[in-house]
Amino acid sequence: MKEPFKVAAVQMVSAPSVEANLAAADELVAEATGQGAKLVVLPEWFCFMGRAERDKLAIREADGDGPIQSFLARVAAKRRAWVIAGTVPLPADDPAKVRNSSLVYDDAGRRVARYDKIHLFDFTGEDERHKESNTIEPGAVPVAIDSPFGRVALSICYDVRFPELYRRLAPMDLITVPSAFTATTGAAHWDVLVRARAVENLAWVIAPAQGGHHPNGRRTHGHTMVVDPWGKVVASLAHGPGVVVAEIDPSYQARARASLPALTHRVL
């Protein structure tokens, strides 16, 4: 797709009810496509933020089957848009854990890709502690896909701290980073990490996020954004549910790469 097109990043404040989260996502996807978005990216755990970490085990779905995946296929087809679902809990080799999986559906509702989060978040702060590896089994395979929008590199939240992941997938046109950054780490690092991935890869970054105070007591940073290949934030939303829509101009990326051919200068 060489002509400009619109993308959307959806921000949510997900709760323990899958049904309520899917209803909220449905409305937000409709809002995004109503503004002309042809690619819509949902945040990490758009479908569920349980009261306890192990609650996600109860809603995991068989790969390719289940109410969350059926919803995603249906909404992509209904809205005639590509949808990248932040994450869905799928079975792991360890029955006491899940895979945290980003799923891609085309505008006919067909699933065309799956990426399992590779890097798992550990953090110990003054008043909070997170250890994703207690309930999530890491993936091992980086994933990028060819699409009508160019080559899209898939990643999830904590992955954004590891630039070598994106180097494995380069060159790409778009990077997606569905996230649920904590309020603490997000305030410190979110903006600089997302913009850095755009600059070093001369790629557009679509970074939808969870953004608010959740029923389980967790606070997420929000600040959903779309960043251009020069590192400029072209659209953003600080807090609360909503949609960020931005126009992607492939020719702008081509001009940026021609003026600063850093990707051709790599020697390592």
Q: What is the pLDDT of residues 23-71, one digit of tens each?
A: 999 999 999 999 999 999 999 999 999 998 899 999 999 999 999 999 9
Q: What is the pLDDT of residues 12-21, one digit of tens each?
A: 999 999 999 9
Mean pLDDT of the chain: 96
Strands of 242-248's sheet, edge to edge? 111-116, 98-105, 82-91, 37-41, 5-11, 242-248
Reported confidence tier of residue 128, pLDDT bands at 50, 70, 90: confident
Predicted confidence at residue 126, as pLDDT, reads: 76
Question: What does the DSSP 8-state code read for residue 16?
Answer: S
Query: Residue 116: exposed, middle, or buried by beta-carbon count in 10 A (0-12, 13-18, 19+)?
Result: buried
Predicted confidence at residue 130, as pLDDT, reads: 80
Q: What is the pLDDT of residues 209-235, one digit of tens each?
A: 999 999 988 999 999 999 999 999 999
Q: What is the pLDDT of residues 142-193, one digit of tens each?
A: 999 999 999 999 999 999 999 999 999 999 999 999 999 999 999 999 999 9
Domain range summary for the chain, segments of one domain joined by +: 5-265
Flag whether the pTM goes above 0.75: yes
Q: What is the homologous superfamily of the domain 5-265 according to CATH?
A: Carbon-nitrogen hydrolase (3.60.110.10)
Residue 1 has pLDDT above 60, yes or no: no
Which alpha helices (DSSP H) does 67-162 contain, by range? 67-79
Predicted confidence at residue 124, as pLDDT, reads: 85
The set of catalytic residues is 44, 117, 157
Reported confidence tier of residue 127, pLDDT bands at 50, 70, 90: confident
Residue 123 has pLDDT above 90, yes or no: no
Q: What is the CA radius of gyration of the chain?
A: 17
**In the predicted model, what is the mean pLDDT of residues 86-91?**
97
Predicted confidence at residue 90, as pLDDT, reads: 98
**Proportion of the chain above pLDDT 70, given as a percent:** 100
Whether residue 30 contacts residue 81, with contact meaning beta carbons closer than 8 Å, is answered with: no
